[in-house]
Amino acid sequence: MYFDYCATTPVSAEVLTAMAPFWQEKFGNPSSLHQDGQSAAKALQQARAQVAGLLGAEAGEIIFTSGATEADNLALMGILRPWENKAVHLITSLVEHHAVLHTAQALEKMGCLVTYLPVDSTGMIDLADLRRAIRKETRLISIMHVNNEVGTVQPIAEIGRIARENHVLFHCDAVQGVGFLPVDVKKLGIQLLSLSAHKIYGPKGVGALYVQQGVEVHNLLYGGSQERKIRPGTENVPGIVGLGRAAGMAEKNRTENKQHVAALREQLISALKWSVPDLVVNGPSGDQVCPHVVSLTFPGSVAEMMQIRLAMQGIAVSLGSACNSRKIAPSHVLLAMGLGREAADATIRISLGAPTTADEVERLSQLLPVIASACKI
């Protein structure tokens, strides 16, 4: 049983079908002028329109990348690196994905000034802190839409409004949110947005960066003129076609998927609270949490031992971000939220997806209390 959809999702049948012709039949280079090349170029444009449709953007504002990590790097570095050794300022938060945090740290070494906003016990930033952090040197705000470890939904519209009022660009890592929550970059005041195919039932190794028309992003790579010269190199046509179809399916199924995982979340938490009285559900509730992410602390238990025992039963859960789970270190997100080391080490992340069933959740809710008890120290 798989409960790690925040880490990755299976490629849907519709996406596989869409990608299939572009491996051997329609394999042309989209930069070529002959028919095979133009067929591939047409497929790229269709995918660009599909991704744009998911975001309320224009097709020409979509830049394809190798994934959200590259998109995050491109957004931050592409805006701020040209100002190297000058007093430019970036605002982000302590609970961002490491693709943003580590890029921010690299920018600091180049002379960029960075403010890391704190969060409250639910993982939410304080808008007053954001307003106070803005200074005349501020060029960019980078705040994620949905936290990948606890599901906190940040007040994106308000952040966009504050950025606009202060003439500051706003980048949003929307990887975890676009499959469940509506995103309209124009209405939300977002100038740059990152997303990943493999978090919305598409292939790994492909993502996109939305760049609002008129915003100048400097390329990090050098080569051809692909992707408006912002991201040179021959495009991954099968992957991009898969991303396009996944984006189209995400837009179509978003409401249904959210309702599905919300019901499963309620089922899981209700069952566990009855059998584990001291259980702690981390993060906010209601509309402030994206329901596919469930962060649970089992006081006194060792989460790593729980994960191993669950794996022996054929059940996949996570200790936090998959990009960092091989390192035995407490979650930076949980620590920023005020959890102590012991509580952080007793926390597992369960993430739900469209294929998850009520029977699977029932089985998990029966096993977790037994395993948590066996893993107490």
User: CA dist 141 to 126, 233, 295, Å?
Assistant: 14, 28, 26
- Per the annotation, the verdict on 375 as an active-site residue is no
Quickly count: other Cβ atoms within 10 Å of residue 238's Cβ: 21
- The two tokens of residue 3 are 């409960």
Q: Side by side, which strands form the sheet with 207-211?
A: 62-65, 207-211, 192-196, 169-173, 138-142, 89-93, 113-117
- Residue of 112, 290, 323, 375 with catalytic role: 323
Residues β-bridged to residue 33: none
Nearest to 295 by CA among 344, 342, 345, 348: 348
User: CA dist 93 to 133, 139, 197, 216, Å?
Assistant: 11, 15, 24, 24
Q: What is the CA radius of gyration of the chain?
A: 21
Residue 193: which residues within 8 A CB-CB, separation 6 or more?
55, 171, 172, 173, 174, 183, 185, 209, 210
Burial class for 347, CB neighbours closer than 10 Å (0-12, 13-18, 19+):
buried
Residue 216: which residues within 8 A CB-CB, separation 6 or more?
none
Contact (CB, 8 A) for 95 and 147: yes
Contact (CB, 8 A) for 47 and 241: yes
Q: What are phi and psi of 44, to 5 degrees?
A: -60, -45
Q: Where are the alpha helices (DSSP H) in the chain?
A: 13-19, 21-24, 35-55, 68-80, 98-109, 127-133, 156-165, 185-188, 237-275, 303-312, 332-336, 341-344, 358-374
Burial class for 190, CB neighbours closer than 10 Å (0-12, 13-18, 19+):
buried
Catalytic residues: 323
